[in-house]
Structure 1
Amino acid sequence: MMQFARVLVEIEISEDLPKTVQFLNEKGKLMEQLLEFEWLPTQCRGCKVYGHTERMCNRKQTETWRQRGRNGEVEAKQSTMEHVPFLEDKGVTSGAIDANTQSTAAMDLSESQEISQHQGQLTNASKQVDELARNSKDRSTSEWTTPKRVGQQQVYFTESHNILSWNVRGINKREKQISLSTFCFVNKIGLGALLETKLRGDKVGKMMSSFFIGWNYYSGSASEGRILLIWQHHVVSVDVLKESDQYVHVCVKEVKSNKLFCVTFVYGRNSIEGRLPLWVDLAELSFPAIPWLVAGDFNVVFEGTDRVGGRTITALEMEDAQKWRALGLVDELRSKGSHYTWTNKQANEDIIYTKLDRIFKNEEWLDLFPQAEAVFNWEMLSDHCYCIIKPGATVNCGIKPFRFFNMWTDHGSFKDTVMQSWSKPSKGVGLDRIVRKLSTLKKSKVDWFRYGDDDTVYFHACLKQRRAYNCITSVVTESGQLIEKFDDVVAHFVTHFQKIMGSKSSASVPIQHSCFSLGHRLTLDQ
């Protein structure tokens, strides 16, 4: 009797086997199903061809052999030959090898290992000789080549799945569960907290096994029906550290990048007295050295502008929330989208909009995920906005150009720092030496900023915050299209300014170097 669905999947033999398949169910919803293979053919890890193992592969490989010279010296060489393992085991080589190669291939194992160990050193030495030859050739010519630095790769948050926080206001209905599953799939959710689920007992496991295949979940006794954690086990691993009826505090580790951080998902009570334990626990959950994110529905306003319509916000409502934020443990993550996150869905003058959902992070979060941002948008499934914390993609942004600010000259130690750096001995001749000195001077500027400010910690914290808010991670075009990929955002801005600035043109008059001797010139003291 067939106990599970069998699907015939036709793919190209050169492509990787699929792990999931997507399909539309009977309600027209897009679903994803994990695949399990009862049997797979043998595949060579070297040539990626099916039917044999890597040991039995007959493809060409690079073998290391040696040949004794007339003086008995050992010469290391490389030869490309047909690799026939079952013949080599019997001491027989391929017929494509000539007589000299056959005698050489029969050398003892110890000598072969010795040559292999020194092969890497010989290769590195050859590269150094080639580099010296190129440098010598460059010096003999009159052309000047500007030294270029290779940009370091700036890690933002690996392009993995997003983090979700959403007050769904009950998900007992099957139709709502299906829509929620589709939402998580479309928005690439890897870790999420569903608030006010109203699911208890076996209903949680039934929903997960039916519509969240391949997901793990946690519903504790203290937070049951209020906070439900879901995550894809192949994306992140989650350890629950502490929980109450108003929050669940977890440690998260990314599977691919092994990045470690903490997340506290919050669903606060709707009374001032009921939220008092929440503020006490959040104050004790401070992590000064670990990236920390606090997300959820706090059920309270933090500022006087967080409500439109209804009764006026009083100072008593905001007092506890503002005291907790004043501790300086976290500050709000950069966000976009809707400012207000809840509505009573009334009409005309009775409608009320309030900001109840927020995302906070500590300074270490910016060190690990400097480009992360929160997106608040409305969805028909709930009267609350959903919030998606989007990680930035790993891109190579290169190196920012050096900028000089006139205010630096007003600092008391500016001239001494410059002269101390400039007087250091430097290699090179002519412009090469000047470039090296300028590079050293810029490094001195970095050290000056790092150690010269009396309030270093606060200075760098403000700098990180400013960089995070000034970064453009997405743009909406005139046609309403949202562009979020880094390369596409850069291309959009370049194209826009090319239309304004015009096309590139070369200088019509060459530079007259004799002009440099005319007029006033800066002296060393200046």
Structure 2
Amino acid sequence: MAEFQECLTESNLSDLDIRGTFFSWSNNRVEDPILRKLDRVLCNEKWREVFPDAISIFEAPGDSDHSPAVVRFTHVPEIRKCSFKYFSFISTHPKFLEELMKSWEESIPVGSKLFTLGQRLKRAKATCRRLNKEGFGNIQQKAGDALRNLKEIQEQLLSEPSDSLFRQEFVARRKWQFFETAQEIFFNRKARIRWLACGDANTKFFYKAVMAHHIRNCISYLVDGWGNRVFNQAQIKDMVVAYFQNLLGSADTLLIDISLEDLHGSFLIDVLSRLQINFC
């Protein structure tokens, strides 16, 4: 096992995210049953980049002693409204202070001081959200485009150097460093990691951590009342809502209504019984 683990480490292979049954092998002996996790689905970093939403589902073995492992690729990403989180790189926007002061100084309808503060905070949040979308929306693509532009200018500069290309290369480098730093801060916060173990530029490391966190928390499918797997996100939402409506919205037939008079009477009887016990 130590040699096998060393082989996986040298080959940069790790387990794909697992769903379904945990144990994958059984000896099928009633008198001496044994269950083990023998079967695994392995992948490398390139696989995770190309298929970030792929999962492995271990199903019931049926007549075999090994559980079949099914790798599922198709997953339609759902565009959902996420809560806004403030990142420090938003303050580097050239219009940050100007737009924030403008939204903060807008007149507020008549209300208490706490109400006024809440309204101003809401407007400041909307301003930060808009500046983030305008200046840092799709930060990965902007960082990649800035790097490609920098390399193109550098190729021209190293072939036919000129003062104009030197200035262009300086501006392009500053622009790329700006987006690269913002991207690193973004993935650092999203990855929820407070330590650095892979050097100074950890954007790729944080990106992988974010993707792994997303896959672990993702509900890939649910099993309905007939034992069928449901992968459609809209149907999964309906199943969850229906389950909790049935759990929390239905009346319990075992409960008995008690009037206020009965409650007072039972309370009085309980007090008298306690007094009698203490007196005895």
The structure with the largest alpha-carbon Rg is 1
| TM-score of the aligned structures, taking structure 1 as reference length | 0.28
Structure with the higher fraction of residues in strand conformation: 1
| TM-score of the aligned structures, taking structure 2 as reference length | 0.50
Structure with the higher fraction of residues in helix conformation: 2
